[in-house]
Amino acid sequence: MAVAHGWRLASAGIVWMCAIQFFIAQIVVQSRWTTPYSLATNYISDLGNTTCGVYAGSGAFVCSPWYVVMNVSFALQGVIIALGTVLARPALDHGRTSAWIGMLLGITALGMVGVGAFPEDVNHGAHVISAATQFITGNTAMIVFGCAARHRTRWGLFSRISILLGALGLAATGLFPQGYGLGLGVGGMERIAAYTLPVWLIGAGALLIRQSGGASSPN
């Protein structure tokens, strides 16, 4: 039983660590742009824009030849979140809190799939709803997890880091739609809102792999 549980945690950790593909895809797709791509003025979703021209949402010129790669990455990230959540659920917490975390991350996964399925220039409304939803639910899930796990020794400092990341992500989620870049630009502020979750997934994944050897421990 303990061996099976340990295998499940290790599998969850490996899946969640695959969230790094989100960053790799952006670097690759950015490299294919024939015009300058700005982390400060361009949105992440510009990388998935299917047409070339001035995008009304940001006022920036957008032309992403490898947009398919980015949109597949968005959708794949949703699958990574969902599958890892199912596998990791026994380790997240117990009872009602576990259900809340699972629900929030499940909605986040759907939002990520929606971001890839509805590029910003194809279905703007669905894209914005998908993106906003996963920003809010993903960052909220980290806070809920952090609060629930703060007294569990196996999570230690990571529970507090989770709360910090979630709060930072939610703050950025509120700022960047209003055009507040605070010196980072709206694109930079959006990245804070978007990057907190994949960073958390990679960190949580590494810890789950580490914990998988002592999976029978209740703490």
> For 31-82, what is each residue's pLDDT tens digit?
999 888 888 888 999 999 999 888 776 677 889 999 999 999 999 999 999 9
* pLDDT score at 41: 85
- Domain residue spans of the chain: 2-213
pLDDT band at 93 (very low <50, low <70, confident <90, very high): low
The two tokens of residue 6 are 């340990």
Give pLDDT tens digits for 8-33. 889 999 999 999 999 999 999 999 99
Residues 52, 33: contact at Cβ < 8 Å?
Answer: no
Residues 109, 147: contact at Cβ < 8 Å?
Answer: no
- Tokens 């999976």 correspond to what residue? 215
Distance CA 158, CA 16 (A): 15
* pLDDT score at 4: 63
> Would the pLDDT of 3 be above 80?
no
> Would the pLDDT of 109 be above 90?
yes
Residues 12, 205: contact at Cβ < 8 Å?
Answer: yes
Give pLDDT tens digits for 126-145. 999 999 999 999 999 999 99
Beta pairing partners, 53: 62
Phi/psi region, residue 59 (left: phi>0; alpha: psi -120 to 50; beta: rest), is left
Distance CA 47, CA 219 (A): 42
Measured CA angle at 13 (ends 92, 165), to 5 deg: 60
* pLDDT score at 166: 97
Higher-pLDDT residue of 87 and 218 is 87
SS3 percent helix, strand, coil of the chain, rounded to 5, is 75, 0, 25
Mean pLDDT of the chain: 89
Please tell me the least confidently modeled range out of 2-6, 41-45, 122-126. Answer: 2-6
- Kindly give the residue spans of alpha helices, DSSP state H, lying in 63-184: 67-92, 96-117, 124-149, 157-175
> Would the pLDDT of 217 be above 50?
no
